[in-house]
Structure formats: structure tokens, C-alpha cells
Structure 1
Amino acid sequence: MKQSRHSDSQIMEILKQAEAGISVPNLCREHGMSQATFYKWRAKYGGMDTSMISRLKELEVENQRLKKMYAEAQLRSEIIQEALRKKF
């Protein structure tokens, strides 16, 4: 997963500034990011606090690890089944 240039607390601060009334184009220009990134963050992190964002990122990493483990187990299972078919 690509590492963000902004920390969780910076993302929350940017979203709070937008809620306070600062225009999105000005925020994006000030922080050196695109408006698409801002709207993606707002959709994903809107209504969360910093600890919730950290937990979400931990869960995403764990989910990625579990998906990889599942794919490896499936591959192993297919190899064993194919070997058994050839044997008999």
C-alpha cells in the first residue's frame, strides 16, 4: 500500500479546517495536494478522529496480510489436489 505524505493528525487537521469554512481549493494549494485527494479523504475519514484512522489503517494492513495467507493456502491446496489426481 502506498504511504501517504500526510500523517493521520495532518489529515484530520485539514478536514477540520474545511469544516471550519476554509475553501477546498485554498486548502489543497496550501498543503500541496489535489482536490481529488481531499474529497477521497473526506469520504473515507469524515466523522472520524485520529485514533479511529490509526485503527482503520491497522485493520487494512491486517486484512491485506490475511488475504495473502488465504491465496497461498488456496494455491497449496490446488497443487496437492493436482498431484493426487496425477498419482491415481
Structure 2
Amino acid sequence: MKRSRFSEEQIIAILSEQEAGMSTAEVCRRHGVSTTTFYKWKAKFAGMGVSEAKRLKALEEENNKLKRLLADAMLDNTALKDLLGKKW
């Protein structure tokens, strides 16, 4: 996945500019993002503070780590079943 050039803090600041009354097109032009990207950010970060966004990122990283651990355990389990299922 492509890494964003904006941090969560910057995204929330950009969204707050639009909420303060600046038009969406002007905010997008000023920061060099498309309106599609802006609305995706708004769907994800609307109403969040900086601390909440950091917590969300930490939870997503932890979730990915746990998914990898589960996949490794399932792979090991399948390999052991295959090994034990074969007759010597």
C-alpha cells in the first residue's frame, strides 16, 4: 500500500480547515490533494482528534501483527497435520 505523504495530524488539520468554513475545493487546491482523497480522509478521520488518530493507527498495527501470528500458527498446524497424516 502506498504511504501517504501526510501524517494523521496534518490530515486532521486539513479537515479542520474545511470545517472552519473554507470551501472543499480551496482546501484541496491549497494542499495539493484531490477531492476524492479529501472525502476518503473525511470518512476515516471525521470528528477525530490527533490522539484518537494515533490510537487508531496503533490498533491497526497491532491487528496486523496478530493476523500475521495467526496465519503463521495456522500454517504450522497444517504442516504438522500433513506430516502426521502420511504413513511412513
Q: Percent identity?
A: 49
For the residues of structure 1 that align with 2:42 and 2:74, how far apart are their CA atoms?
A: 36
RMSD: 1.3
SS in 1 for 2:4: coil
> What is the TM-score of this pair, normalised by structure 1?
0.92
Q: Which runs of 4+ in 1 moved over 4 A?
A: none
Structure 1: gaps of 5 or more residues: none
Q: Are positions 1:29 and 2:59 aligned together?
A: no
Paired position in structure 2 for 1:64: 64
Q: How many residues align?
A: 88
Q: Deviations over 1:17-44 (max 9, x none)?
A: 1111111111111111111111111111
For the residues of structure 2 that align with 1:50 and 1:19, how far apart are their CA atoms?
A: 16
For the residues of structure 1 that align with 2:3 and 2:64, how far apart are their CA atoms?
A: 15
> What is the TM-score of this pair, normalised by structure 2?
0.92
Paired position in structure 1 for 2:85: 85
Structure 2: gaps of 5 or more residues: none
For the residues of structure 2 that align with 1:87 and 1:2, how far apart are their CA atoms?
A: 47
